[in-house]
Amino acid sequence: MSHPHPELGPPPTLPDGGLRIVALGGLGEIGRNMAVFEYEGRLLVVDCGVLFPEPDQPGVDLILPDFEYIRDRLDDVEAVVLTHAHEDHIGAVPYLLRERRDIPLIGSRLTLALIEAKLTEHRIQPTKLEVIEGERHRFGPFDCEFLAVNHSIPDALAVAIRTPAGIVLHTGDFRMDQLPSDGRLTDLGGFARLGTEGVDLLMSDSTNAEVPGFVTSEREIGPVIDEVIRTSEQRVIVASFASHVHRIQQVIDGAAKHGRKVALVGRSMVRNMGVARDLGYLKVPPELIVDSRDIEEWPPEEVVLICTGSQGEPMAALSRMANRDHPIRIAAGDTVLLASSLVPGNETAVNKVINGLTRWGARVVHKGNAKVHVSGHAAAGELLYVLNLTRPSNFMPVHGEWRHLRAHAKLAALTGVPEDHIVIAEDGVVVDLVDGRAKIVGAVHAGYVYVDGSSVGEITDTSLKDRRILGDEGFISVVIVVDSNTGKLTAGPEIHARGSGIDPAQFEGIIPQIERALQDKAADGVVDMQEIRRVVRRTVGRWVSDTYRRRPMIIPVVLEV
């Protein structure tokens, strides 16, 4: 079983007739999905998504793939194929198109409509090609066939990429719901046909590889949501992903059945559901939707609000409601329904929101206490089914954390894929498909690119470390004045602290130590300001650590006279 190694070097030149695959995101993580395929000097990109920040990444809004690998070769990119419209697959497209605006975007009708609405905010008019399942299109040397897959958003696609190097089947995100709410089944017949033709490399969704059996059908959720709405005495507030059209449809159906008006809260929710409604993917009875600004005019028992924030995002509507920082005020007797899965890493944030909502008297219904969500990703039984249908010569698990990738690799081995034909890669690892074999041949840089407000890529891991220290330990600033010729202290030290938890009066104990340290350096003839700053930082840092067992950020300010 092939696997990445920390000492992998740059890849060699791609052999003639070989296909190269480099994931710039989506391997070893949930999100930031982006894969680059190369054949004869031309590139095809599949998906271009974002990763949402974790609590230890303060101030970060989004995390993008690092485009450095293809930045000098953007003119070689034939197209970007988008498998579906979730943010972890399309969210980084605006940032890629900033670097080359005319890269063609390939996707289904809903996918392109949602990304176009997003690009309008970035003032980008995309070049696009709408495709449907069953179609084949050629982009340079890449012959792409599109297949329907069922997922938690309509119009999702898998793509089979044909080159002379072989057939690669990229499933995108999928599940095998046999009773989908929109009637659109995963094209198992197409998968089997490709298996008969010969799949040289299968790249398959690994998110639920540890979950046994088959995923529950979406249709089983509707009656539960209906019951929650029926039994709620006051307002119902539903939090969902802004792209989960199927779930929003179930909520709208329940609200209409029980005579409630619906208000959409949150810019992305209003935008996406407006697009879905205009295209006919979301069916809304006349006069059911009301403006959220007018919702207070309706009795609480006649209202359903649908908002963002199911993952505990601090600036989303639900989190602000829990913190009493939103025009919509949670009241005793309200019911809050978290109608989405829990993305790994968001547990603490979501529990904090649940506690905040409960504090104000709301009843909170979530996946832990009711069947209000099913996953959009295939479980182990379904993944085995696809492996047996396609019978790939080589297998590469994608879309998942390390535990998911390894679990999926074990499933592939159980179905008969030779272990030395199973490639477990991570972001940046280069995989070549040559003469029917997929092998790891090197690695390229594929780090995180942080979006913080309007800045892209300016925040570094060092910046985040500083932010964490400031948030956890506070800072201490030490102001001194020294003679630039002799290095002698002429005024100070003056010490200020914020967030360190240290009584300012206690700093009197460190001032003599700073003075002695500076005297010693001056006696040695040290006049370099950088060295003087280091002396102050070390002296104060050692004292704080020994006295208080803390490590605040220490900022020496040295003024010269």
Residues at the binding site for substrate are 373-377
Are 204 and 27 spatial neighbours (Cβ–Cβ below 8 Å)? no
Q: Any idea what the Cα angle at residue 68 is, between residues 93 and 72, rounded to 5°? A: 95
The CA distance from 89 to 32, in Å, is 7
- The residue written with tokens 């963002």 in the block is 308
Element (H, E) at 146: strand 142-148
Instruction: Please choose, from the candidates 513, 509, 521, the residue with its C-alpha nearest in 3D space to the C-alpha of residue 483.
Output: 521
DSSP structure string for 249-311? HHHHHHHHHTT-EEEEESHHHHHHHHHHHHTTSS---TT-B--GGGGGGS-GGGEEEEES-TT
CA distances in angstroms from 444 to 9, 28, 427, 429, 447, listed in the order given: 8, 16, 9, 6, 9
Tell me the Cα Rg of the chain: 28
DSSP 12: -
Are 468 and 462 spatial neighbours (Cβ–Cβ below 8 Å)? no
Q: CB atoms < 10 A from the CB of 324, how many? A: 11
Annotated binding site: 373-377
Q: CB atoms < 10 A from the CB of 136, how many? A: 11
DSSP 340: S
DSSP structure string for 79-94? EEE-----HHHHTTHH
Give the burial class of 386: count Cβ atoms within 10 A of its Cβ; 0-12 exposed, 13-18 middle, 19 or more buried. Answer: buried
SS3 assignment, position 221: helix
DSSP 4: -
Are 276 and 240 spatial neighbours (Cβ–Cβ below 8 Å)? no
Structure-derived torsion over alpha carbons of residues 58, 63, 68, 71, reported in degrees to the nearest 10: -130
The CA distance from 411 to 431, in Å, is 20
